[in-house]
Amino acid sequence: MTYRQLKIMILGPLTIQVFGIVVMMTGDVIGEETVKQTFVVQGLHCPPCTNTVEAALKRTKGIEAVKVDWRTKNAWITFDESLISAQQVAQAVAVTPHMMGRSMHYQASLALKVPELKDEAAAKKAKTALGDVPGVAAVYAYPQQQSLAVRFNGTGKVTTAELIAALKKAGFEAAPF
Ligand SMILES: [Cu+2]
């Protein structure tokens, strides 16, 4: 056996082991449940408000990227749902101090795409299905855009997957917007 072969024999398993530890250590950070979702933000009073909300969310554990768009009032947020749920993301927006002072508040609703949401009857059915999920405060349906927005209350950890499952039970296929 040459020295080279010996080195491979010893270092091979060692490398795998070290790599295994690295994977274990970074598992929390990388996560397997990273999702990018659209929230509709209310309370944006002027363009700098988008920076206020972005800065607060960037400091929040589990949120990896965020872009708040002044024109559409949409926030595109990338987060790891094994660390922070959609409801908790909305809560993080709600507790962000408003740049105009305490009389104003930011609020975020999760947008979902529901292709079968074509008329008022379907909208009513979908709203009822989601309204029954604890943690959901209100549901707004937009049949023309085949989408809906979910507003959460202050306590709970409802995930997007749970909302999609509740819609599926009611006969709707839904996906993050
Ligand atoms: Cu502002």
Taking only the tens place, the pLDDT of each residue in 71-113 is: 999 999 999 999 999 999 999 999 999 999 999 999 999 999 9
Distance 48 CA to ligand 1 centre (A): 5
Distance 59 CA to ligand 1 centre (A): 19
Spans of all domains in the chain: 35-176
Distance 145 CA to ligand 1 centre (A): 28
Q: What pTM does this model have?
A: 0.80
Question: In the prediction, which pLDDT does 20 show?
Answer: 44
**In the numeric block, which tokens belong to residue 166?**
């509740």
**In the numeric block, which tokens belong to residue 143?**
């049949």
Cβ neighbors of 174 (< 8 A, separation 6 or more) are 112, 113, 114, 163, 164, 167, 168
Taking only the tens place, the pLDDT of each residue in 27-47 is: 334 456 899 999 999 999 999
Q: What is the CATH number of domain 35-176?
A: 3.30.70.100
Distance 44 CA to ligand 1 centre (A): 6
Taking only the tens place, the pLDDT of each residue in 111-158 is: 999 999 999 999 999 999 999 999 999 999 999 999 999 999 999 999
Burial class (CB in 10 A: 0-12, 13-18, 19+), 107: middle
Distance 69 CA to ligand 1 centre (A): 13
Distance 78 CA to ligand 1 centre (A): 23
Q: Answer whether residue 2 shows pLDDT above 80.
A: no
Strand partners, 42: 107
Amino acid at 92: A
Helix (H, G, I), strand (E, B) or coil at 74: strand
Burial class (CB in 10 A: 0-12, 13-18, 19+), 139: buried
